[in-house]
Structure 1
Amino acid sequence: MLMLMLTNPAKAEQCSVSLSQDRVDYGRLHSGELLVEQPGQAELALGKRTLNLSVVCPQPTAMALRFDSPGAGPEAFSLGLHGSFTLGLKQPRLDGQAVELFQGRARSLEQGSRLLPGQTLVARQGGVPIQGRMFTAQVEIETYLPASATRVRDETLIDGRGRFELVPGH
């Protein structure tokens, strides 16, 4: 059984951060089904899930977001001993206009939509950080389990936790 909990998002500068749902439940997974779908793989991909993220602020605010959760290396977040998950932000918009997402305060054009452990994504337009009142994006979650996680005798709960934070001062 696999469940990914996205706890109550943090607030910053009187802004409200919300998700279309606070958990992603993959339900009961049976090892036979997983191994048939991906024979010989060391890591099993459980498919993508999509949620909607919105940030609403009363005053124009720089939109800099991070996901607070333990990392599983530099590219993914941890599901404890049982795997990892990645987060990507798709179709980011600020006050109805498409924006680009850059990692932190980097001045380089290292644009990306992946939220990485310990890093912040900043909304920019033309490479310059911008402010707005309403940020929206689709959150794409990809979950991976090591093949060894399917070798259990009893039902095992696998879960990951984290929350989105609006980071002031970017």
Structure 2
Amino acid sequence: CQIALSQPNVSFGRFKQDDIVASRKNWNRMPAKEVAVTVFCPQPKVMALFLQSASGSNGGILFGQKSRLVLAASNVTVDGHPYNLARTTDRVAFSASETPKEKAVLRNNEGILAYQNGLPVRGKQMSVTIKIMPVINDDQLRGISDNTDLESALAWELLTTE
């Protein structure tokens, strides 16, 4: 099977105080970017995409030293048909860790897959939209007068079963 990303590298450019979309406590949400992920398999398979990244507390995805990236998956289709998404940490049977729904927020070492009627969906092609939202800590946004690069390396791992 193969994975294709609409954008393998995502750049948010420079963050400014004016870019803040929402704030809560010491966290500031910045404008999001979307990446389309498509998986192609020659034979029908159950396909689960697992996220690997540097993580902070509770599996949050680190962005720089103190900030985070929130990844929200939505719009999953298998062979052109829409389904609900399930999150899983089960790397063998892909059992859902919660009730499947339209959107799911991903943490480090979690996978997503299409579900219908309590079962994983099989197919040759799966696509899903990943919305990447930077959430910048006040310390990093206000406490730095020079330029500071915030980076995060995300890796997608595709696991399949018959």
Q: State TM-score, norm by structure 2.
A: 0.83
Summarize the alignment of residues 106-125 of structure 1 with structure 2, pairs less than 5 Å apart.
106=95, 110-112=99-101, 113-125=104-116
Residue 29 of structure 1 aligns to a residue in which SS? coil
Moved more, 148-157 or 88-97: 148-157
Distance 1:109 1:72, change over 3 A: closer
Determine the structure 1 residue equivalent to 2:5. Answer: 19
Percent of aligned pairs sharing the same letter:
21
Summarize the alignment of residues 64-79 of structure 1 with structure 2, pairs less than 5 Å apart.
64-74=48-58, 76-79=60-63
Q: Which stretches of structure 1, 4 residues or more, deviate above 4 A after TM superposition?
A: 37-41
Residue 154 of structure 1 aligns to a residue in which SS? coil
Structure 2 gap segments, 5+ residues each: 89-93
RMSD: 2.3
Given that 1:34 and 1:44 are in contact with CA atoms closer than 8 Å, whether structure 2 keeps it comes out as no
Aligned positions, number: 154
Distance 1:159 1:132 in 2: 34
Distance 2:22 2:38 in 1: 35
Within the candidate set 52, 57, 62, 2:36 is matched to 52
Distance 1:40 1:79, change over 3 A: closer
**Offset at residue 143 of structure 1 (A):** 0.9
Distance 2:39 2:23 in 1: 41
Given that 1:90 and 1:138 are in contact with CA atoms closer than 8 Å, whether structure 2 keeps it comes out as yes
**Offset at residue 75 of structure 1 (A):** 5.3
Distance 1:134 1:71, change over 3 A: same
**Offset at residue 40 of structure 1 (A):** 8.1
